[in-house]
Structure 1
Amino acid sequence: MAIDVQPAVSPMLTVSDGAAAIDFYVKAFGAEELGRVPGPDGKKLFHAALRINGALVMLNDDFPEMNDGKSATPEALGGSPVTIHLTVTDVDAKFQQAIDAGATVVMPLDDMFWGDRYGELRDPFGHLWSMGQPMREVSQDEIDNAIKQHQ
């Protein structure tokens, strides 16, 4: 039997507490846990898989001993240069749900010049998330003019 493999790009998040991260993502984003692989101590997770907003998101606990002795969490690195974006419906409710679950606001929701209602959050593990909901069609001329006005 052949295995059907579809091309995909899926984030793999390193966190300081995998079990707590799964709980947070379920509460904040309505994640569905697909499975987890515990490490040898039974406490840390070698691997976990979630479905968030229809997409696969993987995560693992931090194992510095498997990373040249270096921690790879956003906290240890002084933040994350990557933002994971969720296109959603009812962005105001979903954004508030994430806040209620423990996310902190990085950029409040606002109606943006490119046509989305958009905002950014930081989860309790240091990862950045943005949420957007398309609200209106915007022409390239409108975008160009809005950018010129912000310079």
Structure 2
Amino acid sequence: MTIEIQPALSPHLVVDDAPAAIDFYIKAFGATEIGRVPRPDGKLIHAALQINGAMIMLNDDFPEASGGKSMTPPALGGTPVTIHLTVTDVDQKFQQALDAGATVVMPLDDQFWGDRYGMVRDPFGHQWSLGQPVREVSYDEIQRAMSQA
């Protein structure tokens, strides 16, 4: 058997309560669960989802594997990373995430760079942006808009 490797870049999220996170991502972002690997105590050492055509991996927090420190966004005081989804129905997808339990970080609005865009935080502390291109904008136009801000 030969395993074919495809180049990829996949976020790997650490959460408290990975089964609940999987349920949330299914409701909020239409994720499809690919699989999960639980320990005997039920904590997930690995799970894989597909969201918007991309692989997302996640696992429960295991401080014992990180020098005794929790690695979840709440334990770290937040996250510097935003996971971005480009979608064709951003108003509906943004509301779907809110209905599933996300909170608004940045309200959905038309942005100077040409996207209708907003940001949410999921119940596990991870930040997601959702955007839909609505008009073509050149880099020169973006630069002019930034210099006027």
TM-score band, normalised by shorter chain: over 0.9
Structure 1 residues 44-87: Cα deviation after superposition (integer angstroms, max 9, x where no partner): 10000000011000000001111111100001000011000000
Deviation (angstroms), 1:121:
0.4
Alignment partner of 1:58 is 2:57 = yes
TM-score (norm 2): 0.98
The residue that corresponds to 1:19 in the other structure is 19
Aligned AA (1:3): I
1: distance between equivalents of 2:115 and 2:87?
10
Aligned AA (1:146): A
2: distance between equivalents of 1:11 and 1:31?
14
2: distance between equivalents of 1:54 and 1:2?
24
TM-score (norm 1): 0.97
Aligned AA (1:112): Q
| Structure 2, unpaired ranges of 5+ | none
The RMSD of aligned alpha carbons is 0.7
The residue that corresponds to 1:112 in the other structure is 111
Summarize the alignment of residues 1-151 of structure 1 with structure 2, pairs less than 5 Å apart.
Answer: 1-41=1-41, 43-150=42-149
Say how many residue pairs are matched: 149
Q: Secondary structure at the match of 1:36?
A: strand
1: distance between equivalents of 2:39 and 2:45?
5
Deviation (angstroms), 1:106:
0.1
Deviation (angstroms), 1:141:
2.0
2: distance between equivalents of 1:10 and 1:139?
29
2: distance between equivalents of 1:48 and 1:114?
35
1: distance between equivalents of 2:74 and 2:101?
16
Aligned AA (1:33): E
Deviation (angstroms), 1:40:
2.9
2: distance between equivalents of 1:128 and 1:6?
27
Aligned AA (1:94): K
Structure 1 residues 75-103: Cα deviation after superposition (integer angstroms, max 9, x where no partner): 10000110000000110000000000000
2: distance between equivalents of 1:123 and 1:35?
21
Aligned AA (2:15): V
2: distance between equivalents of 1:145 and 1:75?
37
2: distance between equivalents of 1:66 and 1:142?
47
Structure 1 residues 108-137: Cα deviation after superposition (integer angstroms, max 9, x where no partner): 011111100000000000000000001110
Structure 1 residues 18-58: Cα deviation after superposition (integer angstroms, max 9, x where no partner): 000000000000000000000131x2100000000110000
Runs of 4+ in 1 over 4 A off after TM superposition: none
